Amino acid sequence: MSYSFEYIDIILLAMIAGFVFLRLRGILGKKTGFEGKLSTDFNKDFSDKIKKQKVRSINFDDESKKEFLKGAKIAYETIITDFSDSDNKLIKAKPLLSKKVYDEFKQALSERDEKGHFAEITFIGINSASIKEHKKVENNLEVTVSFESELITCVKDKEKKIISGDPEKVKSVSDTWTFSKDMRSNNPNWLLVDTIT
């Protein structure tokens, strides 16, 4: 009697093993005999296709625009205050600037420093920010934004004599800036690539 239980156990285990084998074969498939090498261009072609799909899948919808504008306002304030502070250096704003804009700003700050001038600014706030246009240029998405802001700003010399501006007057400023992002990059940052004041 005890032997019959052992045979039943063996039969059950064999059935389970057969079921598992058939499931694995159905999922993994079977060897076809093709063992040739992949083309050396396969990896390049595959990664190019993935990059093209990634660029094509850009969806700059209303929610994306809203999030973008939130970040653009922060970038605008950071860049304006960093450019206009008294040390004549770009520290906080540097990661937000393209090389071209960084070089232009740095040149203007160097000229100001050579004259012994420095800026004082109080950033009051942004009244409005709106997207004028967005477009894809090669692998980059470019977004042009109009800013309307209020600042108190003046430039002083070494003796703290006012060269330009008014430390008591709120000034309305209109700027149009273009931000760009490489859609192939994993870096989430947008860079300021152009300014029209």
* Tens digit of each residue's pLDDT (9 = 90 or more) over 143-187: 999 999 999 988 888 888 888 888 889 999 999 999 999 888 888
Question: How many structural domains compose the chain?
Answer: 1
Q: Is the pLDDT of residue 62 over 60?
A: yes
Residue 33 in domain: no
* Tens digit of each residue's pLDDT (9 = 90 or more) over 2-52: 555 677 777 778 788 777 777 776 676 555 554 455 445 544 554 454 444
183: how many CB neighbours lie within 10 A of its CB?
16
Residue 70 in domain: yes
Task: Round to the nearest angstrom and report the end-to-end CA distance of the chain.
Answer: 97
* Higher per-residue confidence, 141 vs 13: 141
Residue 46 in domain: no
pTM of structure: 0.66
CATH number at residue 86: 3.10.450.240
Q: Residue 178 corresponds to which tokens in the numbers above?
A: 């273009």
Instruction: List C-alpha distances in Å: 183 to 5, 55, 67, 112, 189.
Output: 66, 6, 16, 36, 11
How many angstroms separate the CA atoms of 27 and 82, rounded? 59
For 169, the domain range is 52-196
Residue 67 in domain: yes
pLDDT category of residue 103 using cuts at 50, 70 and 90: very high
Residue 11 in domain: no
Residue 128 in domain: yes
pLDDT category of residue 56 using cuts at 50, 70 and 90: very low
How many angstroms separate the CA atoms of 143 and 196, rounded? 13
Residue 135 in domain: yes
Average pLDDT of the chain, as a whole number: 80
Q: Percent of the chain scored above 70 by pLDDT?
A: 78
